[in-house]
Structure 1
């Protein structure tokens, strides 16, 4: 064999071959290519070293896994895979996505399950020894006021008549647009004449995202197209706008409520803060934990070209 699949690293109860590192690199390369990114040749050696470290730590953590760890991981992996599939329209699309990522359904399932097992082991051996107190969470909340501000928002309803084909996005003709505007002028007259705006929206609006709830959205600045946002924030409560033209078509907008900027209460963010602080603390402890695990497993890197500058990567 001109190109033997040599062992590049070993430890108690396991060995890792060059083909495994190359497979991991190919998968990473394919995944990045699917996002329009490429790996510069100058980074290949370093990345291969880091990927070898990941393979080593995965093998160490899998060996530490208990039956409860595996059971917990199985549920998490199944849930993740189910949610991943739901985001794609068909089984064919799911398989195409995996192919673009450089993997197969079987390998994808195995990799997701292994990652979940590793996380379960780290939860038990690292996370379970950390406590984030109420006081620590409150201190973070008080020390970072900018992170917990809700900006000014408006609760507004609108009626939309499209001037583009909803399927293709193609612009309607000038005559078609004139008809739509004339129709919107009649709807505007009825709304300003006292008819229920929500009922008019349910009957006439061509915005499927809001039609069934009477055309209503609640939003801060920066979420809607500029022409729509500018009018919505300039209205007085219960005022109905003139016809507003955007790239989507003709709108009329009714302001239901202006919601002032306010600080988010601590109680609403306490658990999120604790989760964040926990993740930060786990990251601090991880290098020492993984270095010790590597030492206990008597890990040897047999190919010096694959020694990573990063000695403690999370799997």
Structure 2
């Protein structure tokens, strides 16, 4: 239900002029003889894109535009099917509930005047928008009524937990900084030794109290230099062996001896160590239960919409 409410609010947040909506003519589809106008489709299309953090103007590819528009039309057809089914079954939305939702939406716009102004921009008046809101709520209620699902069994939850127990474990992680002075291990010994002198000089400055991050910003030849050499948290197996061995051997705040890898000479400072964690079994099973329930609901809803279409006459006119 939260998705419906958010979609309704985002629809009103679309910035479209009423004069633009007025130019949209024609029919996009027919559902059991009921027309879905291009006007209605374009309004829903803007809402559909906003729900994904997109806007019509940001889509550059004609193929992507057509795909999203087709998906929006399919969604609109599903809503019309559900609304028609709700009417057929005599499912009515409590007027008090509709008015309650309307009040919430008005409050979201700060004042009744702002709300009324936005309705006009979107091609509504309060009466037609109330009807729209009633249909949206009825469609959602109908979908919920048509897709009752039983709770996943404890045996199924236990089975999935045992199969995926490793997914509920987080390995030991560390956070470290490093300074890299590049030299290839394929270089001659003289070049390797020369860069070793340079890294040793930096090590001496650190031993005398220099700030590691400041030296990394000034001297490191790695892409992390601007961040003071700070690396993303990593686990065993993420780094080359010699770097990993040196890093995991450190205590927080300690700095390694110079370490040679195929990239060059490194100095490593351990910032934090995060011990391995295992999610408590009960918490893991509750997570599995929620995921299973959501999967069952989604599968049931998909099957319901497929059946509604099979029992209906749907003609798509807009391509």
**TM-score, normalization by structure 2:** 0.48
Task: Look at both structures and tell me which one has the larger radius of gyration over its CA atoms.
Answer: 2
